[in-house]
Structure 1
């Protein structure tokens, strides 16, 4: 087993990637083609040409490839503990005129109106974006769900435990190979 000093010298903060398709408009076309395929497969083929499902399936795969070509895997990295604490302090919970803390802010201890966008911007290490690009991305290129996925990943990197991932597929493939 490696000694602690060696492990500490090689320590790195956790990172994760989040795939984001920047051509969400293609989703409707994909769903429409899936419905057409489902309909075609329900109707018995009445000619030698078949039910047309093969052509629809090819269009679906071509569209999937197009969507993948417009998908970027955002890489996010956790902050070191002191940086995280300072970052949270930059976004203190809001208080009303009587000093009562906003209920949403009280639950997690930060100003939820300012925190998440700043967290995403601080956590994303790839791509490296300038302010104008961030404005374009956050101002209209992402859906609320895509933004939430980035924000939840950034939160998880900093606040949840780091565990050793398990891959069922890799485990099945290496089970009988003598690997340990």
Structure 2
């Protein structure tokens, strides 16, 4: 079994870089300011309202389709220039498939593969523990010896935080025997994130959705 030391690093990837005014809004815009009149939250209010973070993982169970997806994308890149126009071969023989026809055929194949991958995508939901619960969990399951494998710890973590569906550590171990490293890493990262990241901040909506409130 592959050691899980590399999966312990849950540093999130670099933020998506989108041009100003793109679908994710203008990154140079000033942050939202707090309201002029702030609600005074009592501890009782907070205890009644607060929720632990929850997140979904995205796992395509048909990872074999990714090979066909990449093959078609690679072939399409040879048919299209930097401006997105199809490059027609000047010396194409009579009756030979044109680059335009070939590009459309490949695009149809790509759309079918994407549809098949979507049908085979699993969206397990993870729910974090409270800070006290997570401290107790780590004390019980985290390896005491430096450099020890994190495989059992990660199995326990995924089982403890996967909420829909609920799984046991043995079932997580069974998933390891079937899923690839990328899929398992995704499950472990999401299980870690709901306990170490996230919170109750209101997420920023894409600018395309924000515009609906102005219409």
Q: TM-score, normalised by structure 2?
A: 0.65
Q: Where does residue 158 of structure 1 map in the other structure?
A: 195
Match of 2:35 in 1: none
User: What SS does structure 1 have at the residue aligned with 2:202?
Assistant: coil
Question: Which residue of the partner structure matches residue 210 of structure 2?
Answer: 174
Instruction: Look up the match of 1:112.
Output: 150
> RCO (CA 8 Å, sep 6+): is it higher in 1 or 2?
2
Q: Which residue of 1 aligns with 2:57?
A: 18
2:75, 2:151 → 1: CA distance? Answer: 42
Aligned-residue offset at 1:174: 2.1
Q: TM-score, normalised by structure 1?
A: 0.76
After superposition, give the CA deviation of every residue in 1:95-139 in whole Å (9 maximum; x if it has no partner). 3xxxxxx1x46xxxxx73421121111111112346664343122
Which residue does the alignment assign to 2:140?
90
Question: Residue in 2 aligned with 1:44?
Answer: 88
Residues 131 and 161 (structure 1 numbering): CA distance in 2 closer, same or farther, change over 3 Å? closer
Q: CA deviation at 1:148?
A: 1.7
Gaps of 5+ in 1: 96-101, 106-110
Show the counterpart of 1:98.
none
Change (3 A) 1:131 1:84: closer
Within 2, Cα distance between the matches of 1:164 and 1:3? 17
The structure-2 alpha-carbon separation of the partners of 1:113 and 1:35, relative to structure 1 and needing over 3 Å to count, comes to: closer
Runs of 5+ consecutive residues of structure 2 not aligned to the other structure: 1-38, 82-86
Residue deviations 1:137-174 (CA, integer Å, cap 9, x gap): 1222x22222122212221211235243223x2x3442
SS for the counterpart of 1:137 is helix
The alignment's C-alpha RMSD in Å is 2.8
1 or 2, which has the higher helix percentage? 1
